């Protein structure tokens, strides 16, 4: 196997237990985007085993995949264009987010058409300025009381909760409370209130309410390694390790340009390793020499540009690595996911979610 992702389900269960220990709120495990690249069904099952009571996805098709796997726990899908097949979603007992009047109309119509009252969560824009009611709010309040829907929840999404000293989260909470009061004034009293993402779940108990939506922290990673510290400092265990093989090891003299464009030139005689992964596998093309692989605990930084299916690392002239050896791309015995993110000018979320499906996941 030229490359694979090792997924530690016990780490995911441990992370959920750690977060559960901080609150009496229930946990909604966010498993969108193939569980942040870790594998939708195995991770969902592990999360429920660990005590999560809800699952959250972006897309309706993700929710259908969970149902097809026999998962009966409550599921909410929140990125639902009005062209979706809401009839099938409602029949599958998938909760749906309502962020606009148009969504209310088509979801209500679907429910009437099949004779099942849709379970919905009202999404309120309190400052993310992305999804949720904003300009249509007053018009929505006029009609929601008579709508043929079952309002299960009301929710919002924090924009800056991963900046613990930023006061804007408190502003969003205040705006949400005002909107919630207005909902109750027209006879809508949602039984489930959910505001907290991973960052707020870890740092802001006052926002926990009935349900915490736990995403990146469940996978052992910090919502913001710069602002909040790395996952390990928060008591979390990274769940993904990437292993790959050295397609070739060879000696290279000083003064040789490496890779497309010859962007790096060897400064001394060395050994290079050609790693059997590239940007088609999710390795960022722009990753700098601040990341690389490890072999028997020794780090080997990237040399030059990442190619589609391979990249080159500087093993060092004394390395004992040989053609065919296995290396750790990121994991506990080498570079971390956060180091890879920093070296690529991105965030840890992107590093794990972009690992391609042609990289097999192995669970343990």
Of 20, 32, 243, 245, catalytic: 32
Q: Examine the residue annotation and report whether 219 is marked as an active-site residue of this protein.
A: no
Q: Provide the β-strand partners of residue 130.
A: none
Of 178, 250, 260, 296, catalytic: 260
80-88 long-range contacts, CB within 8 A, separation 24+ = 82/106, 84/60, 85/60, 86/110, 86/111, 86/118, 87/113, 87/114, 88/60, 88/64
What does the angle CA 155 – CA 160 – CA 161 come to, to the nearest 5 degrees?
Answer: 70
d(CA 284, CA 306): 7
Q: Examine the residue annotation and report whether 260 is marked as an active-site residue of this protein.
A: yes
Catalytic residue ranges: 32, 260
């Amino acid at each position: 196997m030229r490359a694979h992702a090792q997924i530690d389900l016990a780490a995911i269960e441990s992370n959920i237990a750690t977060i559960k220990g901080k609150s009496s709120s229930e946990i909604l495990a966010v498993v969108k985007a193939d569980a942040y690249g870790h594998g939708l069904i195995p991770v969902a099952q592990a999360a429920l085993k660990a005590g999560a009571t809800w699952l959250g996805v972006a897309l309706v098709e993700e929710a259908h995949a969970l149902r097809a796997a026999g998962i009966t726990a409550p599921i909410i899908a929140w990125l639902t264009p009005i062209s979706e097949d809401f009839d099938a979603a409602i029949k599958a007992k998938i909760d749906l987010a309502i962020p606009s009047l148009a969504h209310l109309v088509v979801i209500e119509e679907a429910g009437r058409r099949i004779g099942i009252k849709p379970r919905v969560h009202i999404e309120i824009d309190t400052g993310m300025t992305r999804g949720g009611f904003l300009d249509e709010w007053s018009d929505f309040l006029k009609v929601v009381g008579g709508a043929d829907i079952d309002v299960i929840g009301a929710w919002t999404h924090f924009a800056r909760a991963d900046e613990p000293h930023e006061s804007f989260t408190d502003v969003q909470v205040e705006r949400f409370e005002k909107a919630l009061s207005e909902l109750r004034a027209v006879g809508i009293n949602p039984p489930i209130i959910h505001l907290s993402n991973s960052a707020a779940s870890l740092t802001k108990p006052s926002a926990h309410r009935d349900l915490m939506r736990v995403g990146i922290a469940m996978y052992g990673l910090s919502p913001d390694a710069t602002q909040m510290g790395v996952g390990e400092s928060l008591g979390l265990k990274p769940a993904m390790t990437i292993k790959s093989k050295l397609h070739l090891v060879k000696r290279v003299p000083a003064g040789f340009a490496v890779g497309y464009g010859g962007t790096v030139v060897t400064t001394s005689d060395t050994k290079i390793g050609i790693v059997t992964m590239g940007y088609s596998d999710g390795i960022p093309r722009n990753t700098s020499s601040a990341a690389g692989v490890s072999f028997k605990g020794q780090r080997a930084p990237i040399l030059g540009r990442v190619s589609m299916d391979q990249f080159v690392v500087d093993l060092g002239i004394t390395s004992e690595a040989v053609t065919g050896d296995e290396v750790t791309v990121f994991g506990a015995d080498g570079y971390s996911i956060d180091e890879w993110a920093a070296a690529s000018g991105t965030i840890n979320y992107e590093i794990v979610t972009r690992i391609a499906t042609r990289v097999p996941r192995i669970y343990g």
